[in-house]
Amino acid sequence: MLVIPNIRLLVTATIVSLGGSFHFGYQLVITNPSQSAFIEFLSNSFVEHYRFPLFNSSLKAVWSTIVASFFIGAIFGSLSLRTIAEKVGRKRGIYISITISIISSVCSIIAFFFESFELYTISRISIGYSTALALGLSAIYLNESSPTKCRGFISMITGVTIQLGTVIGSVVAMERYLGNSQFWWILYMAECVLFVLVTFLLPFMPESPSFLLANGDEAGARKSVLFFHNCDCSEVEPIIDEMRINLQITSKPVALIAVWQEKNSRLGVLVGVIISFSTAFSGIAVINAFAVDLLKGVGLSTTSSEIGNVILSAVSLIAIIISTFLVDHFGRRSLLLTANSAIVLINILISVLMYSFDTYKVSWVGYILISVISVFIIFFAIGPGPLCYFVTTEMVDQRSRAAAQSWASLTQMACRTVVLAIYLPMEDAVGQYFSYFILFVVPVFTSLVLLYFIMPETKNRNHIEVLEEISKLPSMRSLLRRMRIVRTITPDKKFEGSNTC
């Protein structure tokens, strides 16, 4: 049954997400429709600084690396997540990420006016760092602040604001608006304004009750519970007591390596890593970063490709809003397994369409591809898209939460870095359709099989209940045993059937 959170929690989740996950979606796409303007900026800057030009293939390779550099910064943001979350706190950590984001955006603006692609690359790395930090911190903060019964709904707001960022980014970064050589710096100025607004609103929200309780501030934890749960004073103590049991506050937070050594957290971290891996290699990274270029590659004009990109972003936003109401109805496990199964089949179809255009040069293939990618985005939005940002935090206890989320975030950012760095060069080397198949079919299928055996249902469950769910999972050994039994029984049944006839 779907439980709508109280207004305070909704407003908090929206503000925190606008300071973090919104910018992740925004940064993923603003270099997509405006790619020509950025490549022109790169070319002019390189000639001015080094006195010789880059040819087209070299320009593409360098630009692909600059796009991927966002995720290089995100890797370091993921690695520092645990330290900042435990030492500084969830809320104050978000302040740090916003400060770094503002500085990075200002550097991007300066890079435009001084024609410095080197400074722009540095700013892209640093904003990747701050965005990954904000994503991880907001996931932990919202998970710890939400009542169990509406935790899924609140956590899904992260996914919704990511897609909202992609829609707005896809529109404003179109060549006719800000995605041109004259105005692309305003894309970063707009981000600065939103960061400043969030900075002024954050002080009105308390730190997460779990973090306060774990650090001995029981009075602060009670006030935080009253704020986020919107409950009577008589209901606070049972909530605090449950937190004491689940938090195990006498233990120290688990380190990044130690989280793999603890029996009760190892599986949760592994599931988070596999989900993040499948998310990065689902094809969404390339669609976010190079959709316009991809659609041009199957015969669409620049204008049609830009409009198609906006349509894809809008479909993604609508799909994830709908999935917000599905995630607490169907559960995490069933949504993820169903969505990833569909993504495997759709990616095969996308590869076939790319091959068809490459072979027959039929112009209408591009419009079919938009429709197929729209279906892909719908399944992505109800499965790995939002779930990868909070399932890990539901599978481990308080002590392991920051370290586990760091590993999940690190995996996704590292894999996105690899995908974006190699996709364009690989496309030039072996063709669009073959590179798409190799990168985005095999990894998702492998992840799907693994998740079937190791991912429990976490919907409306605390850590102790999740551990009980793990014991109910199907095992590879029992599956092989059943297959062996079927092979030994089947011939006998066939023989008996032949005698009857």
The span from the CA of 364 to the CA of 357, in Å, is 9
pLDDT for position 201: 94
Tell me the helix, strand and coil percentages in the chain, rounded to 5: 80, 0, 20
pLDDT for position 480: 53
Q: How confident is the model at residue 76 (pLDDT cuts 50, 70, 90)?
A: very high
Q: How confident is the model at residue 443 (pLDDT cuts 50, 70, 90)?
A: very high
If you average pLDDT over each of 144-158, 184-198, 424-438, 480-494, which comes out highest?
184-198
Is residue 94 within 8 Å of residue 202, measured between CB atoms?
Answer: yes
Q: Report the chain's C-alpha Rg in angstroms.
A: 24
Buried-state track 389-403, b at ≥16 Cβ within 10 A, e below 16? bbbbbbbbbbbbbbb
pLDDT for position 478: 59
The span from the CA of 66 to the CA of 311, in Å, is 26
Q: Which residue has the higher pLDDT, 483 or 330?
A: 330
Average pLDDT over residues 321-328: 78
For the chain, what percent of residues have pLDDT higher than 90? 42
Average pLDDT over residues 474-486: 58
Residue 146: what are its φ and ψ, rounded to 5°?
Answer: -90, 140
Q: How confident is the model at residue 149 (pLDDT cuts 50, 70, 90)?
A: confident
The span from the CA of 361 to the CA of 300, in Å, is 11
Say whether pLDDT at 358 is over 50: yes
Q: How confident is the model at residue 494 (pLDDT cuts 50, 70, 90)?
A: very low
Say whether pLDDT at 404 is over 50: yes
Q: Which residue has the higher pLDDT, 448 or 247?
A: 448
Distances (CA, A) of 190 to 23, 196, 249, 289, 457: 11, 10, 42, 20, 40
List the single range of 52-66, 133-147, 248-262, 444-458 with lowest mean pLDDT: 248-262
pLDDT for position 52: 87
Helix (H) and strand (E) counts for the chain?
A: 23, 0
pLDDT for position 399: 79
Q: What is the pLDDT of residues 272-291, one digit of tens each?
A: 999 999 999 999 888 888 88
For the chain, what percent of residues have pLDDT higher than 70? 93
Hey, how many other C-beta atoms are within 10 angstroms of the C-beta on 161? 26
Average pLDDT over residues 217-228: 92
Say whether pLDDT at 111 is over 90: yes
Say whether pLDDT at 491 is over 70: no
User: Under 8 Å CB-to-CB from 411, ≥6 apart: which residues?
Assistant: 272, 273, 276, 277, 280
Cβ-in-10-Å burial (0-12, 13-18, 19+) of 83 comes to middle
The span from the CA of 100 to the CA of 419, in Å, is 25
The span from the CA of 443 to the CA of 455, in Å, is 17
Average pLDDT over residues 77-81: 88
Across all residues in the chain, what is the average pLDDT? 86
Say whether pLDDT at 148 is over 50: yes
Task: Give the global pTM.
Answer: 0.78
Say whether pLDDT at 229 is over 70: yes
List the single range of 23-32, 299-308, 322-331, 440-449 with lowest mean pLDDT: 322-331
Average pLDDT over residues 233-257: 77
Hey, how many other C-beta atoms are within 10 angstroms of the C-beta on 325? 14
Q: How confident is the model at residue 501 (pLDDT cuts 50, 70, 90)?
A: very low
3-class DSSP state of 459: coil
Give the containing element (helix H, strand E) for 29: helix 21-29
Q: How confident is the model at residue 463 (pLDDT cuts 50, 70, 90)?
A: confident
Q: What is the DSSP string of 359-392?
A: HH--TTHHHHHHHHHHHHHHHHHHTHHHHTTTHH
pLDDT for position 79: 86
The span from the CA of 277 to the CA of 414, in Å, is 9
Is residue 19 within 8 Å of residue 196, measured between CB atoms?
Answer: no
Largest CA distance in the chain: 88
pLDDT for position 401: 83
pLDDT for position 250: 45
List the single range of 218-232, 438-452, 462-476 with lowest mean pLDDT: 462-476
**CA–CA–CA angle 395, 448, 350 (5° rounding):** 130
Say whether pLDDT at 84 is over 60: yes
User: Under 8 Å CB-to-CB from 358, ≥6 apart: which residues?
Assistant: 431, 432, 433
pLDDT for position 247: 66
For residue 106, what are its two tokens? 């200002």
For residue 345, what are its two tokens? 């089949």
Is residue 123 within 8 Å of residue 108, measured between CB atoms?
Answer: yes
Q: How confident is the model at residue 155 (pLDDT cuts 50, 70, 90)?
A: confident
pLDDT for position 476: 61
pLDDT for position 342: 96
pLDDT for position 248: 59
Q: Which residue has the higher pLDDT, 189 or 5?
A: 189
List the single range of 58-72, 294-308, 451-465, 485-499 with lowest mean pLDDT: 485-499
